[in-house]
Structure 1
C-alpha cells in the first residue's frame, strides 16, 4: 500500500480560548479583542487571519473578520462557528467548542509530576457516568450530568498506568487494565472483587465477550489471553508471531459473521469452520490477524505495514478499518484487505470491495481513531473522529462508493491547546474526548 497517493485535507485552527473572549466582550469586561484563525493545507501557503469581537449595544457581540478569513457564529448554538478561507477552498467549515468540560479531581504526588493524562475513557451505557484511566493507577468514575452534585468514585488498586477501561453491558461493573500487569474488575461503588494476573508486560487492550462472563486481554508480552471472570482464571492463550513474539499495542475483536467471511473465515467448511470471532492486532510494523478458534502457532497471519511509519492507532466498523500512523497518515481500507494471503479459501469479494484511501492533515502522529455511524443513519456513510498528538481533533465523513472512499472534514473540534487526544466515547449525539490536558470535553 506504500505507493498509494495521499490526499491532503485542509484544516482550520481557532484560538482555543475564543469563547472566553466572547464572554468578556459580551459582559462588558472589555470593549473589543481579536481572536486568531488559521487555515492549513500541505503544499499550500497557510492563512493566518483575525476576527475582532466588539461589544454590541443592547447585548451580544459583533464579529469583523479580516486577513483572508470569514467567521460567523452559529444561530443555533453559541459554541459553534462557521469558517471560510477562500484561498484554501474552505467553505463554511463547522468549528465546535465544547458544550461541557469536566476536570477530574487529581492530585500530583510532587510538583515534578506532569498534569493528569487521560489514557482511556468509557461512557456508561445505562446512566450518565464516565470511567477514565490515567497515570500511576489513577482510575475514577465521574458523573456527566451538568451541575451534578454527585461525588466521584475512585477505583483503587492499580499502581501502574491504567491503559484501558470499559463498562460491562450491565452498566454496573467496570473492567480495567494496567501497565502493572493486572486486570481488575470493580463494582460502581469502587469495590474490587476480582483481580486477574498472568501477563508479563503492560496490558494494552481488553474486550468483553457477551454479557461479561469472559474477557479477552492483549499485552506487550505478545499474548492474548481469555479469562473466566467468575473463576478468576485464564482459560486460553494465544502467542502472537511466528519466529518471535510481537508486541501488541492494540486489539479489535470482530464477531459479525458477514465480516468474518470477508477475512475468509467462518464459511462453514474446512479451516475456520465455526469461527466465532477474530482478533485484529496492532503490532506496530503491521497487523496480525488471529482467529479465535485456534491457539496453534502460525494459525494467525501477518499483514506487513509498507508505509514507512509506525502504526499507533486503529478502529473497525461495518467492514471498514482505519489505521493511524506516526507520520500523520490515516489509511481507510476494506476489511477484506486483511484476509489471509495465498489461502485456498479466499473470501468472496464483491466488485469494488478492495478499496483504500490514504489521507493526511499534517505531520502530527494519529493518537486516536473512533469510527461510528452517521447521525443520518446513511448506510453508505461513516463518521470518523480523529485525535492527534498536537490536539486539533476533528470529525471526518467517509462516503463509501463502489470505486473507493470519499473523505470530507465535517467538523473541527476546538478548545484544545497543543496536547494529545487519546480517547473517544459517544452516547447519542454527545461525543466526548480526552487526553493530555486532563480534561474531558463534550461536543
Structure 2
C-alpha cells in the first residue's frame, strides 16, 4: 500500500531565495519613442529586491534613455541616479528588443528582460478602469487561435495574428508589442463568444469563474471547466475567410453554443486533462472526486471514478508513451488507440500532492493511489507541472504553493514493476526548493532553454512573472535530499517577463521546443488586467 511520506521535511533541501528585478512597464515604449525621435530622452525606473530571510535589501535607480551621439541607430541606457550606482542595463545580443540588467551590489548577475512581442487586449475586456480578469487561457497547438476564460464565466475565441518571419529589419528595431498589434477585427467581427445555451438570458459559457481551458489536439475543439460545477465542450472552427476586416465593426460577433455539457461534480471543477486524441477526458474538483468522461457519449465512465485525499486545486496527466517516455498534459499522444496509461499528479488543497496510476481500459480502469506527500508548511498547492522526458530518464515534477515556494522533484521512468516503491523513494525529497517572495504561485510550466537546459515559467499574484533556470544534481546514485553539496541543485533567473503593471498573473503557456522550431520558444501569460501577452524566450 502507498504511504504518506515527508517530502517536505526529511533531509531538508534549503530554500533558495532569488532576487526580483522590476522595471517601468512602459520602458520599451520609451525606448521606441527616443529611437524614432518622438522625444529626445527620458528616464525610466528599475527596482531590485532581495527578500532573503537573513537580510531583506532593495535598490532603486533611474536610467536615462538617449540616442548615442555618434551612432544614431543605437540607444544608450545610462544609470542616472539612485542607490544602485553599479546597475547596468544593455541590449541583449541575439534577441530582438530584449535587455540585460545586472546589479553586483545586490549580488544580481546579468538577467534578461523580455518584452512582449504581441499583446491581445480586447477593448471590451481590458479597459484599465474596469478590467475583466483572465483566469485561464489556451493557445491552439497550430497557433491559429487563442481562447480566454474570465472571472465572470465568459469565454472568447480569437484568431491569432501571425508574427512576421523575421523581426530583425531596421524598421522594427526597438519595436514594441504595438508593432505587431492584431487588427481591430480580432475583437469585433472575428471574435467568437462561447455560450452554454442560446436560451440563457445572459449568454455566457459558464455561470461562474472559468477554471480551465484546453484545445483538443485537432485545435478545433475546446474543453472548458468552471466553478459552476460544469464542464463544456465547444467547436472551435476558424471563421470563414469571407469575414474580412472591412466588415462593419458593429456586426455582432458569432455565438457558439456548447455541443456537450458534462455534469457530475458537486463542487468547483478545478482542472482538466485530455487523454490521447480526446476520446476521453479527466476532471478534478474541490469535491475531491476525479472523474473520467467518454466524450462521444457525454457521460462519465462509472468504473473510473476515484476520490482523492482532499479537494484538488490543479492536476496534470503524464501519459506513458509507447517507448516508455512521458508525454505531458500539453503534449497529447498522437496514438490512434484509446488504451492509455500513465500517472495523474494532483495538487491538493491541504498542501500535499497525490499521484495516481491510470491503467489501460483492458484492466481495472479505476485510478490507483501510488503516492501522497505530507502537507507543505507553505500552504495549499496552487500549481503543478511535469516536464517532458526521454524514454528512459524520467522527468521532473514542479509544485507551487500559496506561500510562494516552489519544490522540484525527480520523477523515475514509468514502469509496471514496483511503481509505488520507486515513486516513494524519488518523491519523498525535493531536489530543489526556491522562492522570490511570499506571493502565491498561480501557474507553472516547464520550458526547454538553449543548449537543452531546463527552465520553469512561473506566474505569481504579485504580477511579476519570470522564467527560472534549473540546475539539478547530476549524481543519481545518492539521496538528493542527503544534504551533500554535490546534490544541492541551483536556481537562477533566466528572464523577467516585463510589460505588465503588477496585476496578478493567473496562467502561463509554453509553445515550441528545441532547435527544430525555427520560430523559437514562445511563452504566453495572462492575468487580472485582461491582457494576453506573447513573448519569445529565445
Flag whether TM exceeds 0.5 (same fold).
Answer: yes
Q: Note closer, same or farther for the CA distance 1:326–1:168 as it changes in structure 2 (3 Å cut).
A: same
How far, CA to CA, are the matches of 1:280 and 1:353 in structure 2? Answer: 14
Residue 357 of structure 1 contacts residue 405 of structure 1 at CA under 8 Å; is this kept in 2? Answer: yes
1:31-430 equivalences under 5 Å are 31-41=40-50, 42=52, 43-55=55-67, 58=72, 61-66=75-80, 67-74=85-92, 76-77=94-95, 79-106=97-124, 115-146=131-162, 147-148=182-183, 149-150=185-186, 151-157=190-196, 158-189=206-237, 190-236=256-302, 237-241=304-308, 246-256=310-320, 258=324, 276-285=341-350, 286-293=352-359, 299=369, 301-317=371-387, 318=389, 319-335=395-411, 346-347=421-422, 356-376=431-451, 378=452, 381-400=453-472, 401-402=474-475, 403-428=487-512, 429-430=521-522
> What is the CA RMSD across the aligned residues, in angstroms?
3.2
How far, CA to CA, are the matches of 2:46 and 2:208 in structure 1? Answer: 40
Q: Deviations over 1:23-43 (max 9, x none)?
A: 333344433221111222222
Residue 247 of structure 1 contacts residue 283 of structure 1 at CA under 8 Å; is this kept in 2? Answer: yes
3-state SS of 1:208 partner: strand
3-state SS of 1:20 partner: helix
- Structure 1 counterpart of 2:532, from 426, 434, 440: 440
How far, CA to CA, are the matches of 2:495 and 2:227 in structure 1? Answer: 34
How far, CA to CA, are the matches of 2:510 and 2:106 in structure 1? Answer: 31
TM-score by length of 2: 0.71
How far, CA to CA, are the matches of 1:404 and 1:16 in structure 2? Answer: 35
Q: Deviations over 1:11-66 (max 9, x none)?
A: 31111111122233334443322111122222252121111113556566432114
Higher relative contact order (CA 8 A, sep 6+): 2
Q: Note closer, same or farther for the CA distance 1:102–1:80 as it changes in structure 2 (3 Å cut).
A: same
How far, CA to CA, are the matches of 2:407 and 2:94 in structure 1? Answer: 34
3-state SS of 2:525 partner: strand
User: Can you give the 5+ residue segments of structure 1 that lack an aligned partner in the other structure?
Assistant: 261-273
Q: Note closer, same or farther for the CA distance 1:297–1:313 as it changes in structure 2 (3 Å cut).
A: closer
3-state SS of 1:211 partner: coil
- Structure 1 counterpart of 2:18, from 9, 30, 33: 9
How far, CA to CA, are the matches of 1:302 and 1:349 in structure 2? Answer: 8
Q: Deviations over 1:85-113 (max 9, x none)?
A: 011222321111111111135359xx999
Q: Note closer, same or farther for the CA distance 1:370–1:52 as it changes in structure 2 (3 Å cut).
A: same
How far, CA to CA, are the matches of 1:351 and 1:156 in structure 2? Answer: 44
State the 1:207 CA deviation: 0.6
Residue 112 of structure 2 contacts residue 495 of structure 2 at CA under 8 Å; is this kept in 1? Answer: yes
Residue 385 of structure 1 contacts residue 396 of structure 1 at CA under 8 Å; is this kept in 2? Answer: yes
3-state SS of 1:249 partner: strand
How far, CA to CA, are the matches of 1:259 and 1:173 in structure 2? Answer: 26
Q: Note closer, same or farther for the CA distance 1:153–1:105 as it changes in structure 2 (3 Å cut).
A: farther
How far, CA to CA, are the matches of 2:44 and 2:466 in structure 1? Answer: 20
User: Can you give the 5+ residue segments of structure 2 that lack an aligned partner in the other structure?
Assistant: 1-7, 163-181, 197-205, 238-255, 327-338, 390-394, 476-486, 513-520
Residue 137 of structure 1 contacts residue 156 of structure 1 at CA under 8 Å; is this kept in 2? Answer: no
How far, CA to CA, are the matches of 2:264 and 2:502 in structure 1? Answer: 37
Q: Deviations over 1:300-334 (max 9, x none)?
A: 65311242422211111132111111221111112
Moved more, 9-18 or 67-76: 67-76
Q: Note closer, same or farther for the CA distance 1:373–1:61 as it changes in structure 2 (3 Å cut).
A: closer
Residue 378 of structure 2 contacts residue 401 of structure 2 at CA under 8 Å; is this kept in 1? Answer: no
How far, CA to CA, are the matches of 2:379 and 2:38 in structure 1? Answer: 49
3-state SS of 1:314 partner: strand
Q: Note closer, same or farther for the CA distance 1:392–1:138 as it changes in structure 2 (3 Å cut).
A: same
Answer 1 or 2: which has greater strand percent. 1
Q: Deviations over 1:156-212 (max 9, x none)?
A: 122221111111111111111111221111111434221111111111111111111
Residue 239 of structure 1 contacts residue 295 of structure 1 at CA under 8 Å; is this kept in 2? Answer: no
Q: Note closer, same or farther for the CA distance 1:36–1:216 as it changes in structure 2 (3 Å cut).
A: same
State the 1:73 CA deviation: 2.4
